[in-house]
Chain A
Amino acid sequence: MRRFLKYIEGHETTYLLVWVALLVLTVLTVSVSYYNFGILNIVVAMGVATVKGTLVCLYFMHLKYDNRLNQVVFVSAFVFLAIFIGLTGSDLFLRTPVRSSAIPKVSSSSSDLIGGLTGGSHLSKNFSHTTPELVKRGQELFKVHCTACHSLGKSFKSETSQKVYEAIVRNVPGGDPHSFSDLGEKERWALVHYVESLK
């Protein structure tokens, strides 16, 4: 029973000090946010939040006085969260688009989409002509891959055929920020034909 009672003795002064510290840190994080330190803003904001969170865990939640098993269990949540963030982030931000070099560049002088795109390409000739089937497939793909962001924006409709092709089929850097590298050749062409059919 002694261990049971160990952490309940005389912590109310500590609680008050922690409370004051949390309020001071809140004032700090709000006032710092009015200044622009560039990338440092997010570092400072997350740093302050982490200090506050640690105080809450250690003292209000008595994790400092709790047994080792509970400490390990709780900290493991953050280990798994770090893995979750780390792997998702590395996939999203570090993946290089594949196959873009294997797909031919568009002749910039071409005004005709189909004529310009098929020149000398054995890869794309099967899909470069629009068919009702491809447009239908494109519509389905558009729903899955594009509507989250493009539901309102009509911006892509005003893009030239060449830009649409370059963004989707060739996945040119600096174009659409989405990676289309997980879509096959046919799927990309289907998207192009669908977007073109909207014009």
Chain B
Amino acid sequence: MIKHIVAEHFESAEQAFESSKLGLWLFLVTEILLFGGLFVIYIMFRGLYPEVFHEASHHLNRTMGALNTVVLICSSLTMAMAVSRAQHNESKKAAVLLLITFLCGLTFMVVKYFEYTHKIHEGLLPGVHFSFAEMTDPKAPLFFSLYFMMTGLHGIHVLVGMGLILWVLIRAVRGEFSSEYFTPVELTGLYWHLVDLIWIYLFPLLYLIG
């Protein structure tokens, strides 16, 4: 096991941990406001054109959306478990749980890939690229602009989260975490749960209208 050294400018390991955590919470606030802009656009346009959103939503694949919701919820559980194991000096178990979390993220992205491919094939695309013959309403591309912007930005977050998980996974395998020092696992966990939290709202808003 590698002994973690607390940086000089902190009084204790606890203070160092709490400072890092406050920093991450502040970052999560900016994340919510970043997605918030898109949510505001969504709410306003849905308020203006409810029928268009209703119809367009039927062209999303509910089963795949629901599957991804379940995948992310499971990954949140394994992530929370991994943090707990790391805190209990069980780095190996934490590493296994982190690996499962990573694979859940990968599954999410694969499902998303199939969804996107299908949308591109059908011509259900944003703005001027929209070429789906069954929907003639000129506002229909708006829904798909929002769909791709919101799920796309979320997808980028999933990829970043997977990268972070891989990084803490390697460090866990090296046995760098213990009850004295587990800050990176804890913070990666918080970030990953936020990604889950955003999807919890995206799923009903985009897939389950009407």
Binding site for B on A (CB under 8 A): 1, 3-5, 8, 11-12, 15-16, 18-19, 22-23, 26, 29-30, 33, 36, 41, 45-46, 48-49, 52-53, 56-57, 59-61, 66-67, 69-70, 73-74, 76-78, 80-81, 84-85, 88-89, 92-93, 148-153, 155, 177
Which residues of the other chain, A, contact B162 by a CB distance below 8 angstroms? Answer: none
- Asked if B141 and A92 make an inter-chain contact with CB atoms under 8 angstroms apart, the answer reads no
- Knowing A30-B208, A56-B197, A60-B193, the reply to whether A80 touches B33 (Cβ < 8 A) is yes
Name, among A3, A18, A26, the residue most crowded by chain B CB atoms within 10 Å (CB to CB).
A26
B36 x A93 contact (CB < 8 A): no
Q: Is B208 within 8 A of A151, CB to CB? A: no
Q: How many residues of B contact A (CB 8 A)?
A: 58
Other than the known A49-B204, A61-B193, A152-B130, what 8 A-B pairs have Cβ atoms closer than 8 Å?
A3-B14, A11-B84, A49-B203, A73-B22, A73-B26, A92-B48, A152-B138, A153-B138
Contacts of A1 in B (CB 8 A): 12-14
Residue pair A56, B47 in contact (C-beta under 8 Å): no
**Is B22 in contact with A12, judged by CB distance below 8 angstroms?**
no
Taking a contact as CB atoms under 8 Å apart, the answer to whether B204 and A45 are in contact is yes
Across chains A and B, which 5 residue pairs bring their CB atoms closest together, nearest first?
A153-B138, A33-B208, A45-B204, A77-B29, A77-B32
Instruction: Give the nearest-CB partner of B44 in chain A.
Output: A92
Q: Evaluate contact between A89 and B47: CB separation under 8 angstroms.
A: yes
Pair A46/B18 contact, Cβ less than 8 Å: no
CB-CB under 8 A from A59, the residues of chain B are 80
Q: Which A residues are in CB contact (< 8 Å) with B47?
A: 89, 92-93
B138 and A73 contact, CB distance less than 8 A: no
Q: Pick the contact of B201 from A18, A53, A74, A88 — CB < 8 Å? A: A53
Complexed CA–CA distance, A123 and B49 (Å): 33
A85 touches B40 (CB 8 A): yes
Question: Are the CB atoms of B138 and A89 closer together than 8 Å?
Answer: no
B175 sits at the interface (CB 8 A): no
Q: Is B56 part of the binding interface, using a Cβ–Cβ cutoff of 8 Å?
A: no
Least CB separation from A38: chain B residue: B210
For residue A78, which residues in chain B have a CB less than 8 angstroms away from its CB?
32
Tell me if B14 and A77 are in contact (CB < 8 A): no
* A19-B77, A23-B70 given; A152·B28 CB < 8 A: no
22 contacts between A and B (CB under 8 A): A1-B12, A1-B13, A3-B14, A4-B14, A5-B179, A8-B88, A11-B84, A12-B84, A30-B66, A33-B210, A60-B196, A70-B25, A73-B25, A73-B29, A74-B29, A76-B29, A77-B28, A89-B44, A92-B48, A93-B47, A155-B138, A177-B49
Distance, CA A77 to CA B32, complexed state (A): 7
Which chain B residue has the least Cβ–Cβ distance from A29? B204
Bits for B6-20, please: 1 = Cβ < 8 Å to A, else 0.
Answer: 000000111001100
- Could you tell me if B22 and A70 are in contact, using CB atoms closer than 8 angstroms? yes
Give the CA-CA distance A46 to B46 in the complex, in Å: 14
Most buried by B among A30, A36, A61: A61
Query: Inside 8 A of B205's CB, which chain A residues have their CB?
Result: 45
Residues from chain A with a CB closer than 8 A to the CB of B91 are none
Among B153-195, those with CB < 8 Å from A are 179, 189-190, 193-194
Which residues of chain A are within 8 angstroms of B142 by Cβ–Cβ distance? 148-149
Q: Is B112 close to A, CB under 8 A?
A: no
Q: Please name all residues of chain A whose beta carbon is closer than 8 Å to the beta carbon of B18 when the two chains form the complex.
A: 67
